[in-house]
């Protein structure tokens, strides 16, 4: 059982309508724990079931929760082009080991408007030749946008994959000035 459930404070969640589609944000007493793209219907329900299983208690829908308010404000400001960095506490409990090391390096070492290759990120965490493992870590990122896995690209100039879809990745990179704005 999570410490939040023992403390009587269950994890909370809300869906926020954004320019890149509905995002589910979930938080515990430790911080923002999950961001989920395309958070409608079955996607939202599966995400909530996974969270309940991983956290040991079902998250409660509470869009007005103080645990979520600042994260929602900062995500909206980022997507409006008004914010470049996130300053919200993060709950890293959904990820561990190599994946956590990679995501922490990404969060602190790849600033707004810059990109890094999968192989370069692997080298930064002491695993040269671990580009594929970095790709797996990006796919397992429970905090996309806030922990900016959209900033990880292929060494040959390709955009790479993205859990939120390639169009969303293009839009986020365009927002940061890395790619030109789409024409349509």
User: What whole-number distance in Å separates Cα of residue 118 and Cα of residue 115?
Assistant: 10
3-state secondary structure (DSSP) of residue 172: helix
Q: At what angle do helices 97-109 and 131-139 cross, to 10 degrees?
A: 90
Active site residue 52: no
Active-site residue, from 149, 152, 173, 175: 149
User: What whole-number distance in Å separates Cα of residue 10 and Cα of residue 174?
Assistant: 36
- Show the tokens assigned to 149: 């896995």
Active site residues: 149
């Amino acid at each position: 059982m999570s410490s939040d459930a023992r403390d009587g404070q269950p994890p909370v969640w809300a869906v926020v309508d954004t320019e890149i589609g509905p995002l589910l944000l979930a938080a515990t007493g430790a911080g923002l724990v999950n961001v989920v793209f395309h958070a409608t219907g079955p996607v939202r329900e599966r995400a909530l079931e996974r969270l309940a299983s991983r956290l040991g208690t079902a998250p409660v829908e509470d869009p007005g929760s103080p645990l979520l308010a600042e994260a929602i404000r900062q995500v909206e400001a980022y997507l409006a082009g008004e914010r470049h960095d996130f300053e919200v506490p993060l709950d890293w409990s959904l990820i561990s080991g190599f994946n956590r090391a990679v995501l922490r390096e990404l969060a602190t070492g790849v600033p707004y408007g810059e990109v890094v290759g999968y192989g370069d990120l692997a080298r930064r965490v002491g695993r040269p030749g671990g580009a594929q493992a970095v790709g797996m870590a990006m796919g397992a990122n429970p905090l996309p946008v806030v922990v900016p896995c959209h900033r990880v690209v292929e060494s040959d100039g390709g955009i790479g994959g993205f859990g939120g879809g390639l169009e969303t990745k293009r839009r986020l990179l365009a927002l940061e000035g890395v790619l030109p704005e789409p024409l349509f």
